[in-house]
Amino acid sequence: MSTPHRAGRALVVLSGGQDSTTCLYWAIQRFGRDAVEAVTFDYGQRHRVELDAAKLIAEMAGVRQTVLPINTFGVMGGNALTGDITPESGARDDADTTLPNTFVPGRNLIFLTFAAALAYQKGIEHVVTGVAQTDYSGYPDCRENTLKALELAIRLGMDSPVVLHAPLMFMSKAETVFLAQEVGAMKALAYSHTCYNGEVPPCGHCASCELRAKGFAEAGIADPLVVRTTGA
């Protein structure tokens, strides 16, 4: 079902990955291309290729992109995305209540706060993020209750009517693939980056690669990134 056009302007947190790319095109469909901008965070991530992916995808989508540097996470380290730790391989058991070593404490809280601050400066009312509560990892800063609490804190702290949107919040990975197809994001997904090991073509065995592959397989659709980089 198509989402009706909505008045206002939107700022999309664009990492260059599958989910944020899908959300970018969701926002374009919902708000109109001329009313959408993207913000990308350079937070000292090891997989630097995602910054190149985000830049290219923003260009493909025809939206303005702002890159904000945040080096604090890299300085703190302690996780597989910013430190010298090997990312976990394979999908996690749903019964596993521990957080994976790819969890960066506070990352989405900081990202969305900075995004809201940038939106405030630009007079933008809507901030869009690709977080999903149904994601295999169960990151606590991807949950709906966290976003609702953060939205309230931002509204109070900035005296702003900002609205945080998480269109993928309760979708399975297969459902996000269908949404990407619906909003016209498939071509851009061929240039997205998801692999925790930063490999192109994607390694295929880290947890993120396995989750992405599972989603496309369940949707019965070939992953355009794999097709582009391997010809498979």
Q: Which domains does the chain show, CATH number per domain?
A: 10-230 (3.40.50.620)
For the entire predicted model, the pTM comes to 0.86
- What's the pLDDT tens digit per position in 177-214? 999 999 999 999 999 999 988 899 999 988 889 999 99
> Is 22 flagged in the annotation as binding?
yes
> Is 21 flagged in the annotation as binding?
yes
> Is 20 flagged in the annotation as binding?
yes
> Is 206 flagged in the annotation as binding?
yes
> Is 181 flagged in the annotation as binding?
no
> Is 23 flagged in the annotation as binding?
yes
The 10 Å CB-count burial string (b at 16+, else e) for 150-189 is bbeebeeeeebebbbbbbbbebbbbbbbbbbebbebbebb
> Is 16 flagged in the annotation as binding?
yes
Distance CA 128, CA 202 (A): 26
Distance CA 36, CA 127 (A): 10
> Is 15 flagged in the annotation as binding?
yes
Considering only 11-20, 78-87, 97-106, which range has the smallest mean pLDDT? 78-87
> Is 172 flagged in the annotation as binding?
no
> Is 24 flagged in the annotation as binding?
yes
Q: HSE (CB half, 13 Å, CA atoms) of 127? A: 30
pLDDT of residue 2: 35
- What's the pLDDT tens digit per position in 4-57? 456 799 999 999 999 999 999 999 999 999 999 999 999 877 778 999 999 999
pLDDT of residue 206: 86
* End-to-end CA gap in the chain: 30
Would you place residue 75 in the very low, low, confident or very high pLDDT band (cuts 50, 70, 90)?
low
- What's the pLDDT tens digit per position in 137-169? 567 777 899 899 999 999 999 999 999 999 999
